[in-house]
Amino acid sequence: MMTIRSILLLLLLTGVRAAAISPANGYVSKIEVFRNPVYPLDVVDKLEEATMPKVDEWMAKKITAGKNNKCTLETAAVRREWFALHCHFRGIIRSDMKYRSDMSETMRQEYVAAINCLLKKPPKADKSRFPGAMSRYEDFVAFHMTHAMQLHDNMHLFGAHKYYVWLFEKALREECGYTGYQPYMNYDRYAQDPWNSPLLNGNASSIGGNGVLDPAYKGVPQPGRTPNIIASGGGGGCVKAGPFSDMVVNLGPTAMSTGAKIPRNPRSDGTGANPRCLRRDVNRNAAMGATADRAYRLLTKHNDMDSFYNELLGTPPPKNDPYPWGIHTAGHYIAAVDPGGDAMTSPGDPLFYFHHTSLDRLWWIWQMQDPEKRLYSIPFVNMNMTMPMKRAVDPHNITVDMEWLGPPIKLLETHDQLGGNGGLFCYVYV
Ligand SMILES: *[C@@H]1O[C@H](CO)[C@@H](O)[C@H](O)[C@H]1NC(C)=O
Ligand SMILES: *[C@@H]1O[C@H](CO)[C@@H](O)[C@H](O)[C@H]1NC(C)=O
Ligand SMILES: *[C@@H]1O[C@H](CO)[C@@H](O)[C@H](O)[C@H]1NC(C)=O
């Protein structure tokens, strides 16, 4: 008898377009899923698949209530894993990227080209405030570096980043002709060997390789954890291979930089022009803190937002764990150093967007286990410190203001990717 996977593989090779069938209950997804046979589904992928019937049921209710803002699962954009774009399907060419599947390498290169395009477009940020923001790409870095405290507080970490990444994706599509959506990285696929991963191996369809060895770079200190450093993975210097090896980084470093001997910025807050190379330390020690078993535990162990949030941040630090970082930290330092390893300028390394899209995916899977209860939940605690139980501001009244990046929206609008923001948010993950 054929297994579900072999059926899907067959469909994939013969080019027949079919809806994915969830093995558990025969549920037929409205999202067409073509899987990359190189990587079997991990526990998180399977949980995500098993969640689709709940998403469908919840959407049906919203549609009945007229609250879906025209978003449906049939029309939703699909954000995919980087390497999932690699699948070859013979014979099908569709104008809609969602089904266009013979692009493989080309699709990933299209993404890289779109980033290069943003790197060449003039910035919109105020020149006197950000003389170092030299491109549309760095517009986003400039925003992040001056709003990092707000973006990372307990109310904004999820929602404001969702909006931020969505605006970046919109810029790639509308200003640079990208026809896909922002990819995420399934950390687990690359955790054992990130250097040779399709994302960071430095070939033409990666997002560039490791930095050259810089013995002065020791790693990222993790005070309060054991071990108390994400030890260097053997890079730290300039990226010399693949896309972005010629990238010019201008903003930063700031006081939060974890790089070694990075040239100083002419402005003390890092907003001046400081042209230099992209430096990376592609780091297995970090990546191993974001494996699928950890993500699965994160998604299934926590019924309340506070404990979900704290485990994501690795607070309190796990004991007897060689990689006790929490997935948020682990993901950030998979390619740390400069500007990626500086909490202020981290979006200066394109890997940032893969990481925050992955966190967005995990948040969504967690929300969708019980959408009625979880969609709008916001953590009360922050970094292991209990906040006053009465919030100073009602979350309903909070507006996320992205200044020159996009129009302000209500925080709670950012919580719903299937109809939020007046229906402009309408996407799923596969
Ligand atoms: C880059 O590496 C990936 C993973 O090994 C491989 O599948 C792909 O074909 C390579 N692409 C190029 C352009 O060399
Ligand atoms: C962090 O939380 C743990 C468990 O709730 C607690 O034991 C520890 O004292 C807390 N640390 C701080 C600094 O509040
Ligand atoms: C939230 O906004 C509403 C309407 O603008 C207002 O009545 C209420 O007092 C505000 N709540 C807080 C806590 O600011």
Q: pLDDT, tens digit, for every residue of 280-295?
A: 999 999 999 999 999 9
Specify the pLDDT at position 19. Answer: 40
Containing domain of residue 187, as a range?
A: 34-429
Percentage of the chain lying above the pLDDT 90 cut:
73
311 CA to middle of ligand 2, Å?
Answer: 13
CA proximity to 208, closest of 80, 335, 346, 342 = 335
- 149-163, 221-235, 244-258, 373-387: range with lowest mean pLDDT: 373-387
Residue 9 pLDDT grade (very low, low, confident, very high; cuts 50, 70, 90)? very low
pLDDT band at 97 (very low <50, low <70, confident <90, very high): very low
Structure tokens at 406: 């996009």
Q: Whose CA is nearest to atom 1 of ligand 1?
A: 203
Q: Which DSSP symbol is given to 192?
A: T
SS3 content of the chain, % helix, strand, coil (to 5): 40, 10, 50
Q: pLDDT-based confidence at 200, cuts 50/70/90?
A: very high
Residue 426, beta-bridge partner list: 418
Atom in ligand 3 nearest the alpha carbon of residue 394: 13
Asked if residue 12 belongs to a domain, the reply is no
Note the pLDDT of residue 17: 30
Element (H, E) at 239: strand 236-239
- Closest residue by CA, ligand 2 atom 10: 384
Which secondary structure element, helix H or strand E, spans residue 336, and what is its range?
strand 335-338
* Overall average pLDDT of the 169-181 stretch: 95
Q: Return the higher-pLDDT residue of 143 and 109.
A: 143
The Å distance, Cα 104 to ligand 1 centre, comes to 10
With a 6 A CB cut-off, is 397 part of the ligand 3 pocket? Answer: yes
Coil, helix or strand for 194?
A: helix
Say yes or no: CB of residue 74 within 6 Å of ligand 3.
no
Instruction: Tell whether ligand 2 has an atom less than 6 A from the beta carbon of residue 383.
Output: no
Which residues, other chains included, contact 130 with Cβ-Cβ below 8 Å and sequence gap of 6+? Answer: 123, 138, 142, 251, 271
Lowest-confidence pick of 74-78, 84-88, 108-112, 351-355: 84-88
- Torsions phi, psi of 239, nearest 5? -75, 125
On whether the CB atoms of residues 92 and 101 are closer than 8 A, the answer is yes
Give the integer Cα–Cα distance in Å for 148 and 356.
14
Nearest alpha-carbon partner for 244 in 282, 215, 288? 282
Residue 91 maps to a domain: yes
pLDDT of residue 397: 82
User: In this structure, which residue's CA is closest to atom 6 in ligand 3?
Assistant: 397
Q: Minimum-distance ligand to the CA of 36?
A: 1
Please give the pLDDT value at position 270.
98
Judged against a pLDDT cut of 60, whether residue 172 lies above it is answered with: yes
Nearest protein CA to atom 7 of ligand 3, as residue? 397
What is the separation of C-alpha 183 from the centre of its chain, rounded to a whole number of angstroms? 8
State the chain's mean pLDDT as an integer: 87
Give the nearest ligand 1 atom to 196 CA.
5
SS3 241: coil
Query: For the residues 1-24, what does the mean pLDDT come to?
Result: 37
Is residue 335 assigned to a domain?
Answer: yes
User: Which atom of ligand 1 is the closest one to the Cα of 38?
Assistant: 7
Residue 98 has pLDDT above 50, yes or no: no
- The answer to whether residue 427 scores a pLDDT higher than 80 is yes
Q: How far is the CA of 412 from the centre of ligand 3 (A)?
A: 14
Q: Looking at ligand 3, which residue's alpha carbon is closest to its atom 12? A: 394
Has residue 106 been placed in a domain?
Answer: yes
Could you tell me if residue 2 is inside a domain? Answer: no
Q: What is the pLDDT of residue 383?
A: 54
Predicted confidence (pLDDT) per residue in 401-417, tens digit: 999 999 999 999 999 99
Number of C-alpha atoms within 13 angstroms, CB side, residue 69? 14
The whole-number pLDDT of residue 308 equals 95
From 205, 206, 207, the mutation candidate for ligand 1 (largest count of ligand atoms within 8 A of CB) is 205
Whether 29 is in a domain gets the answer no
In one-letter notation, the amino acid at residue 304 is D
What is the spatial distance between Cα 279 and Cα 282, in angstroms, rounded to a whole number? 10
Distance between CA atoms of residues 388 and 109, nearest Å: 48
CATH number, domain with residue 175: 1.10.1280.10
Q: What was the pLDDT predicted at 317?
A: 92
- Peptide bond preceding 227 in cis form (omega within 30 of 0): yes
Q: Give the pLDDT band of residue 78 (cuts 50, 70, 90).
A: confident
Residue 323 has pLDDT above 80, yes or no: yes
Ligand 3: distance of its center to the CA of 403 in Å?
Answer: 23
Q: How far apart are CA 311 and CA 183, in angstroms?
A: 24
Listed range (1-10, 165-174, 400-409, 412-421) with the worst mean pLDDT:
1-10
Of 419, 399, 429, 427, the C-alpha closest to 160 is 399
Q: Are 184 and 199 in contact (CB under 8 A)?
A: no
Residue 96 pLDDT grade (very low, low, confident, very high; cuts 50, 70, 90): very low
Q: What is the count of structural domains for the chain?
A: 1
| Residue 429: its H or E element | strand 427-429
Given ligand 3 and candidates 394, 396, 399, 410, which is best to mutate, with the most ligand atoms within 8 Å of its CB? Answer: 394
CB of 192 within 6 A of ligand 2: the answer is no
CA 89 to chain centre: 26
Give every CB contact of residue 39 below 8 A, 6+ residues apart in sequence. Answer: 83, 186, 189
Average pLDDT in the 303-325 region?
A: 94
* 267 within some domain: yes
Per-residue pLDDT at 21: 44
Q: What is the pLDDT of residue 392?
A: 58
Report pTM: 0.89
Query: Quick one: pLDDT band at residue 83, thresholds 50, 70, 90?
Result: confident
Test site for ligand 1: of 36, 105, 195, most ligand atoms within 8 A of the Cβ: 105
What's the pLDDT at 24?
Answer: 53
- Please check whether residue 13 lies inside any domain of the structure: no
User: Could you identify the residue written with the tokens 């009625």?
Assistant: 372
pLDDT at 264: 97
Which pLDDT does position 7 carry in this prediction?
A: 34
Indicate the SS3 state at residue 53.
helix
262's CB contacts (< 8 A; 6+ apart) are 252, 253, 276, 279, 338
Distance 386 CA to ligand 2 centre (A): 9
Q: Whose Cα sits closest to atom 7 in ligand 2?
A: 316
Residue 342, pLDDT score? 96
DSSP character for 281?
Answer: E
The pLDDT of residue 149 is above 90: no
Q: Which H or E run includes 221? A: strand 219-221
pLDDT value at 14 more than 50? no
**153 or 409: which leads in pLDDT:** 409
- The C-alpha atoms of residue 220 and residue 424 are separated, in whole angstroms, by 38
